[in-house]
Structure 1
Amino acid sequence: MSIVADQVRRVDSQLDKLQLAHLKSATSSPILTYRRLSTTSEPTEQISTSPQIEELQVLIKALSATSSSKALLPAWRISTLLEQAGLSEGEVNALGETKSSYEKELEWLLVSKATVQAYGVLLNTLLEQTIPLSNDIWYWDEVLGSYTFTAIYMIQTSPLRLWDWTKDIYEDSRERFSRLRESPEDTLSATAIGTNVTARWKTFYGLVRDSIRERSVTDIQARVLSPLAKSRSEARRKQAGLKRLREMSASGLGVLMDEGLNFDIGEDTTGIQGVDGSDWNVVVERSVALMDTVLRNVTALETGVSEFEDIVFASVADDPEISSRSMGMGELRDKPAKLCKRLQNILSTHIPAHVQAQQHLRSQYGRPHRLVRYWLPATVLLLSSTTILRIVVNRKAAILQWIQDLGSTMQDFWMNWIVDPTRKIIKTIRHDEGSEVAIMSRESLKGDRDSLERMVVDFAIDNPEAAGMGGALSDAHIAEIRAKVKEGDLTPVLRAYEKDLRRPFVGTVRGDLVRTLLIQVQKTKVDVEVALSGIDALLKSQELVFGFVGLTPGVLVCIGVGRYISGMFGERRGQKYGHRAGQMIRVLRNIDRILTTSTPSPNGILSYKDHGLLLCEVHVLRSRAARLFPGEVEREFFEDVNELGDISIGIERQLKVVQRIRWAYGKWLSK
């Protein structure tokens, strides 16, 4: 919510209080009538009614700042509502009916509501046009603050200087040629001008050379100033014009804010009894005249601020359309139609003319156009565009291949390191047999162990003496040998192996040395498989852990990339936040500077110009504070800002408010 909307709501509320206080009968109260229309659908008790009265009531409701969440209406909407009202002078309305006292009061209320809305439109226009002037003034400060920036400005504006010089030469030569043709016959011969086109062009070309020669002599005389000095002088001149324009606009804003629609009523209806029934009508008339006069004179830069204020107040005091306070209500009731026409003229003519004049002055004194500031890099880019395009075309295949490789790499990484490990983890959680981790087959150990048992049993049957038996082995002995083999005991084989080792050659040829060695190889294979089965069981017990370990690298890479990207955007958000906080600090500095360098009145309050400048800075401060503070802190901040913009408290208290804002909200302003 802007300070203009707050001001419009405050003035509209004061107008409502005046209506409620001075109307004796609630049934004939226009303000109660339109408020009931806006809050309830029940029929209201009225003294008299007509289509014109009902139309006025609806229009008053539409113009009221308190009847909707949007306090300000656009200028075209206000003009449309005033035209729709069709107010007429005299005792007869637009429908040919005699106006009642109630209808005349409604007309005054309608014009007053429209005046409040037009007042808000004008304040908003002055604010929007005054605030950007500071940026242009800072631009000229930057140009004047460094010779490097001055040289850049000189290069940027060199085409304009050349164009102005060429145009001056052309205009001067054309003027000379016109004077030459208009010379009397006795002072100029026909051959001097020429009778054909070629001769005329030769004559014109000679005049151009003479003009250039004279300009060159003038330039030689002006060479005491370097091009940089001329550019700095031009920058100072434009900066001074902008400062004068800002001071005039700020003075007009301060005059309107302090003197416009000032009913001298407090928030608690203080002073409302001292306002006569016709006083508020005169205030409305004076406010309309004040807006008209400010719009006519605020762009006249040849006058100073003090002279501008004197002209405004003198014009308002001598305005013939303002009623005197000695006039009765009967005479005042004929004024709404004239005020309506004047308001329409302000909205449709004066405000657009003021905006156009302000834009013309800003284009004359403000920073150069973007085309002027960036023509040099744009020209360099344009000239090098063919080379850049040629490089891109020649490397088109390589660039496309890079893009394809990048896309395929990202796709493969996503599928192989994110999707597939995730699927395996899901299968592990579901105990999917196809997802089990194993380094050997399930039946491998069982088959090798059974084979070892058969080898040892067969060896023991073939060599019962190695098994410690004198004769054939019984089933009990065979079962005992099988049990020992399962436990890893190969005693029969080892006995025969030890016996054959005594005579290795004989044992190899005639004994069982080779057979026992092969059985021990099988035993070693079984032992290895037993160890592997233990490792396999360990892997199966930690299968979920290994799944997450396989997923971790891809997740870490994704998290890193995501944090980097979010950090980039977060850094931008942080930079924006810090930029806004820094802007608010600079605005507070400007406010402190306005308050400390101002020349207060005998009452200790700001002048109109300083008040206007303060309002501009307060408006910027409120707009920069959006979404910068938490909810409750933001409300408290706006309370302090509203107190800062109230000049009635005096400069000393305003400076204390600035200090309070700095220490109370320094936590957010220092980020």
Structure 2
Amino acid sequence: MTLNFTVHYTERLVPLTRLQLSTQTKPTSDDGALKSTHAMLQGSPSEATVQQSIDFLRTFPVREGKPGLQSDSEELVFYNAVVRKTIFNMYALAVDLYLEESSAAQLDAEWWADIEQSTWSVALYLLQSLPSRLRRVLQLIQTRKTSVRLSAFRPSSITRFYWNAAPIRLNPFMVALFPYLRDQPSAVASFTPVIAGKSTRPDSLVALAEKVHGGVMYSIQRVVSLVLFPLRLAREECQLRRKELEKVRDERAEVLGNILELRSLLANGLEADFNVSTTGSSIDNQVLTEFLFKFAVVTSGDASQKAVLPLIEQLLNAFKNHGILHDAYLDAHDLRRPSRLTLLWPRLFLLPPLTLYCAKHIYASRATLADLMLDVVNTVQNFFKGWLFDPIKDVLITIRAGGEDGVIVRREAVAADLDSLERMTLALAREKLSYDSTQLEALSQQIRQGDLTAVLKIYEEDIKNPVKSAISGTLLRSMFIQVQKAKVDLDQALAGIDKLLKSQELTFAFVGVAPALAVIYVAGGFLRGLLSIRPGKYGGKLRKTSVWLAMRRIERLLLFQPKLLHHRLLVLSLAHLREYALTSLPARSRLREGFLEDIEILEDPGLRRSEKLRIIDRMWKSWGKELGWYDLAGGGSNR
């Protein structure tokens, strides 16, 4: 975070520190040391380069045989450039230092807050930190030469401690287990449960039952309280560390805000001309001196020096001491996160025996597992072949065939039945009705349209004398023609159904392959999420949660803090948002550019608090849904 943030706030000052040579500058032959120092300062700011630059500037004007610097010499130009660059590097180092400390405190505070909110996380943390707590107890025993007696573990001693209703008193062993109790004795309270009221009716079965019930409930509550009491102490420890880190964060963020407020004064000082005295013993720049004086007051609270170079040297020493004191404070109050080994030792301790047990179990069941794996392989093969590849192949065949073949009946069979009906009807009409060719052709068209009026007339005449017509007439022929007509009608109905099914054949084919595709999609997503090492969209849930907390912190500062104070404390949260946008949002996207534009507006010190609140509200509306802030908050959009 510090790199992007520092570049954002210091890149506008870089042109003011560049070397500017004019045509009237007189070259000098004795400026190699200045040029090498100037070249050294062009790299990334560091305490070592600043210290070397200070040592060189302290000795350069008064070195033996040098009366001073000429006002129009090239050596003076390089000298001024070195001073400018030294001051600029000092300013960049201060921004880096306080931003790094406040950011680290913020991240650690969020880590302790996550532990504090979950009982399971507190219990896991208590287990992870158990070796260090026991080590402190052993050190206490060794220091005080206290002997642990076996009588302390007798049932009578445990019972006396168990049934004692008095509040727990702090003792060295408890303080060794939970060091925060040394400074917070009021945080410990009795874990004594509420004692049931006594019965007012003595010498009765009801009173005896109440006494027994009260004793049982008291015992259960006492056991539960005794078991949960270490978790309560561990939770309070996490809570205290979170609050201490938030205090450190606010203090460093306020100093950082004050440093950034001096940026305009530094810019004015760098723009001013350096007037070096003829003796070369001092630098005459009131704006720059004023900046350094205020800079020293903000960072170290001491500005006893009045000259430029002593002030720079004082500031560098103050930064070194500040870093040492900051680390010592975190170590003294045990505010840092536990080490990786501390967090991983339960897994490292349990992993070998679990691995050995699983290996033995697998080896003992190798035959069963081999059969199981064979079944799994066959199932996967059949799934891909029968439910994926074959249905996809059918889809391709359907697309290529174009729906020509029938599903229920073929067109040739329907045409053959219709031709048979036509021949039977025309033969009957020719023999019975004596139709000529013209009439037969017209009848053929009527048959194609499903009109059998001529046959029906013959049938109507025949059924008047059914016995006679059945023996010598055409009753049977007309009935067989109607049976053939019913068959043709049935074929045509089936052909219609067949046409409907054929039009939806591609849909049915895709429906058949859809379940297999859905299974492949779900399984592939699960495996991709299981094997992927990349973070989720826009940085993943953890980073989005951190940004969501930063947004809430900005809004809270704007609502409840005075104007000057909230502007200073906003710096850290805005740096957090900027770092998130530069590292997690898509490059060259409207989302990233719009997000950075809103941050730029919030960084404007001239903007009123009400206007910044409107910007915050716009950011909730614009980016809340896309970045998943409403889901993190546990609800939908209420804005």
Alignment TM class, shorter chain as reference: 0.5 to 0.7
* 1:103 match: secondary structure: helix
Question: In the alignment, does 2:202 pair up with 1:212?
Answer: no
Change (3 A) 1:575 1:53: same
Change (3 A) 1:398 1:370: same
**Distance between the aligned counterparts of 1:491 and 1:618, measured in 2?**
95
1:659 counterpart letter in structure 2: L
**Does the 8 A contact of 1:500 with 1:512 survive in 2?**
no
Question: In the alignment, does 2:572 pair up with 1:616?
Answer: yes
List per-residue Cα deviations over 1:358-389 (Å, max 9, x = no partner): 55654543232344345446655665445555
**Distance between the aligned counterparts of 1:134 and 1:555, measured in 2?**
49
**Does the 8 A contact of 2:98 with 2:256 survive in 1?**
yes
- What residue in structure 2 maps to residue 300 of structure 1? none
2:7 to 2, 5, 8: 5
Question: In the alignment, does 2:379 pair up with 1:409?
Answer: no
Question: In the alignment, does 2:550 pair up with 1:584?
Answer: yes
- What residue in structure 2 maps to residue 31 of structure 1? 20
**Does the 8 A contact of 1:108 with 1:281 survive in 2?**
no
2:310 to 300, 322, 330: 322
**Distance between the aligned counterparts of 1:530 and 1:409, measured in 2?**
43
Deviation at 1:667, TM superposition (A): 1.9
Deviation at 1:106, TM superposition (A): 1.4
Change (3 A) 1:670 1:630: closer
- What residue in structure 2 maps to residue 420 of structure 1? 394
Q: How does 1:166-565 map to 2 (within 5 A)?
A: 166-167=138-139, 211-213=146-148, 224-225=169-170, 231=178, 233=181, 235=237, 242=245, 246=249, 249-250=252-253, 253=256, 256-257=259-260, 262-263=265-266, 265=268, 309-310=300-301, 312-314=302-304, 316-317=305-306, 322=310, 362=330, 364-373=334-343, 375-376=345-346, 379=349, 383-386=353-356, 390=361, 395=369, 397-398=371-372, 401-402=375-376, 405-406=379-380, 408-410=382-384, 412-428=386-402, 435-437=404-406, 439-445=408-414, 447-448=416-417, 467=432, 487=447, 488=452, 489-490=454-455, 501-502=466-467, 517=476, 520-521=479-480, 524-525=483-484, 527-529=486-488, 531-533=490-492, 535-536=494-495, 539-540=498-499, 543-548=502-507, 550-551=509-510, 554=513
List per-residue Cα deviations over 1:66-124 (Å, max 9, x = no partner): xxxxxx936499689979x999836999xxxx998212321330342244134314422
* 2:147 match: secondary structure: helix
**Distance between the aligned counterparts of 1:255 and 1:499, measured in 2?**
120
Change (3 A) 1:151 1:529: closer
- What residue in structure 2 maps to residue 198 of structure 1? none
- What residue in structure 1 maps to residue 135 of structure 2? 163
* 1:421 match: secondary structure: helix
Cα-Cα RMSD: 6.2
Provide TM-score, normalisation by structure 1.
0.56
**Does the 8 A contact of 1:285 with 1:322 survive in 2?**
no
The range that moved more, 123-132 or 160-169, is 160-169
Deviation at 1:637, TM superposition (A): 2.0
- What residue in structure 1 maps to residue 622 of structure 2? 668
* 1:212 match: secondary structure: coil
**Does the 8 A contact of 2:406 with 2:499 survive in 1?**
yes
- What residue in structure 2 maps to residue 638 of structure 1? 599
Q: How many residues align?
A: 518
**Distance between the aligned counterparts of 2:354 and 2:461, measured in 1?**
95
1:225 counterpart letter in structure 2: L
- What residue in structure 2 maps to residue 24 of structure 1? none
1:369 counterpart letter in structure 2: S
**Distance between the aligned counterparts of 2:266 and 2:12, measured in 1?**
11
**Does the 8 A contact of 2:289 with 2:308 survive in 1?**
no
Deviation at 1:159, TM superposition (A): 1.3
**Distance between the aligned counterparts of 2:248 and 2:500, measured in 1?**
83
Change (3 A) 1:263 1:366: closer
**Does the 8 A contact of 1:136 with 1:366 survive in 2?**
yes
**Does the 8 A contact of 1:115 with 1:284 survive in 2?**
no
Question: In the alignment, does 2:44 pair up with 1:73?
Answer: yes
2:20 counterpart letter in structure 1: I
Provide TM-score, normalisation by structure 2.
0.58
**Does the 8 A contact of 1:154 with 1:228 survive in 2?**
no
**Does the 8 A contact of 1:238 with 1:365 survive in 2?**
yes
Deviation at 1:491, TM superposition (A): 8.0
Change (3 A) 1:418 1:14: same
Structure 2 runs not aligned, ≥5 long: 153-157, 162-166, 183-236, 277-281, 530-534, 626-639
**Does the 8 A contact of 2:407 with 2:502 survive in 1?**
no
Change (3 A) 1:456 1:12: closer
**Distance between the aligned counterparts of 2:335 and 2:522, measured in 1?**
47
Change (3 A) 1:451 1:52: farther
- What residue in structure 2 maps to residue 110 of structure 1? 82
Deviation at 1:417, TM superposition (A): 4.4
Deviation at 1:578, TM superposition (A): 6.6
List per-residue Cα deviations over 1:277-314 (Å, max 9, x = no partner): 675768778988999x89xxxxxxxxxxx9x844x423
**Distance between the aligned counterparts of 2:481 and 2:29, measured in 1?**
117
List per-residue Cα deviations over 1:450-494 (Å, max 9, x = no partner): 656777788899xx7xx378xxxxxx7699679757835558996
Change (3 A) 1:622 1:657: farther
**Distance between the aligned counterparts of 1:152 and 1:122, measured in 2?**
38
- What residue in structure 2 maps to residue 298 of structure 1? none
Change (3 A) 1:439 1:6: closer
**Distance between the aligned counterparts of 2:415 and 2:267, measured in 1?**
107
The range that moved more, 557-566 or 228-237, is 557-566
2:554 counterpart letter in structure 1: L
- What residue in structure 2 maps to residue 89 of structure 1? 60
Seq. identity, %: 15
**Does the 8 A contact of 2:421 with 2:481 survive in 1?**
yes
**Does the 8 A contact of 2:409 with 2:498 survive in 1?**
no
Change (3 A) 1:212 1:261: farther
1:322 counterpart letter in structure 2: P
Deviation at 1:416, TM superposition (A): 4.5
List per-residue Cα deviations over 1:420-442 (Å, max 9, x = no partner): 335423542xxxxx733364444
Change (3 A) 1:560 1:572: farther
- What residue in structure 1 maps to residue 634 of structure 2? none
Deviation at 1:127, TM superposition (A): 0.8
- What residue in structure 2 maps to residue 183 of structure 1? none
Change (3 A) 1:654 1:151: farther
* 2:20 match: secondary structure: helix
**Does the 8 A contact of 2:45 with 2:92 survive in 1?**
no
**Does the 8 A contact of 2:392 with 2:513 survive in 1?**
yes
